[in-house]
Structure 1
Amino acid sequence: MFDQNSAVSPRRSPSDSFSAQAGSARTRYDSLSAWLGVRREVDWQHAPALQRVSPDRDGFRSWCEGPVRQRDPIRAERLLAAHTLAREDAARRSPLNFALLAGWQREVLAAPGVPFRVSDAYAKGGRERYGLTPRTQADFDCSLRETTDPDIPLVARATRAHFDVAFFHPFTDGNARAALLTLVYVLVREDIVLPEVGPLQTTRYADDPAGAADLATLIGVLNRRRH
Structure 2
Amino acid sequence: MQVVDRTGHGSGWHRHCAQVLTWFLQRWNVPAEVAEALVDEAIGGRFHSWTSPETVLVDDVAERLALSLSLRQDATTRPFEPGRGEPTPDHLERWLAIRDCVPWQDVSDAGGGDGPMAPSRDGAVEDIRAFDGAIESARAEGLLAALQLARIDAARGASLTFELLQGWQQHVLCTPQPPPFRSSPAFAKGGRERYGIGPDTRARLNACLAESTYDSARPLSLSARAARAYLDVCFFHPFGDGNARAAFLTLIFVLAREGIALDNVSLLRRVRFQADDPQDPLILTRYINIHLSETRCASS
- What fraction of aligned residue pairs are identical, expressed as a percent? 45
Structure 1 residue 194: Cα displacement: 1.4
CA-based RMSD of the aligned residues comes to 1.4
After the TM superposition, which segments of 4 or more aligned residues of structure 1 sit over 2 Å from their partners?
23-28, 50-54
Q: Which amino acid aligns with 2:277?
A: D
Question: d(CA) in 2 for partners of 1:71 and 1:174?
Answer: 14
For 2:256, the equivalent position in structure 1 comes to: 188
Runs of 5+ consecutive residues of structure 1 not aligned to the other structure: 1-19
Matched, 1:43 2:103: yes
Q: Please give the per-residue CA displacement for 1:83-113, whole angstroms capped at 9, x wherever unaligned.
A: 0000000001111101100000000001123
For 1:3, the equivalent position in structure 2 comes to: none
Aligned residues: 206
For 1:16, the equivalent position in structure 2 comes to: none
Which of 60, 71, 95 is matched with 1:24 structurally? 71
Q: Which amino acid aligns with 2:282?
A: A
Question: d(CA) in 1 for partners of 2:134 and 2:192?
Answer: 30
Question: d(CA) in 1 for partners of 2:262 and 2:275?
Answer: 24
Equivalences for residues 86-165 of structure 1 within 5 A: 86-113=150-177, 114-150=179-215, 151-165=219-233
Query: Which structure has the larger Rg over C-alpha atoms?
Result: 2
Structure 1 residue 24: Cα displacement: 2.3
Contact preservation (8 Å) 2:71, 2:88: no
Question: d(CA) in 2 for partners of 1:24 and 1:69?
Answer: 32
Q: Please give the per-residue CA displacement for 1:190-216, whole angstroms capped at 9, x wherever unaligned.
A: 011111112212111001111111000
Normalising by structure 1, we get a TM-score of 0.87
Whose relative contact order is higher, 1 or 2, with alpha carbons under 8 Å and at least 6 apart? 1
Normalising by structure 2, we get a TM-score of 0.66
Runs of 5+ consecutive residues of structure 2 not aligned to the other structure: 1-66, 76-86
For 1:222, the equivalent position in structure 2 comes to: 291
Q: Please give the per-residue CA displacement for 1:5-61, whole angstroms capped at 9, x wherever unaligned.
A: xxxxxxxxxxxxxxx9xx723243010001101111110111131243332222110
For 2:119, the equivalent position in structure 1 comes to: 55
Which of 194, 208, 212 is matched with 2:277 structurally? 208
Structure 1 residue 64: Cα displacement: 1.2
SS in 2 for 1:147: coil
Contact preservation (8 Å) 1:48, 1:217: no
SS in 1 for 2:211: helix
For 1:75, the equivalent position in structure 2 comes to: 139
Segment drifting more, 68-77 vs 35-44:
68-77
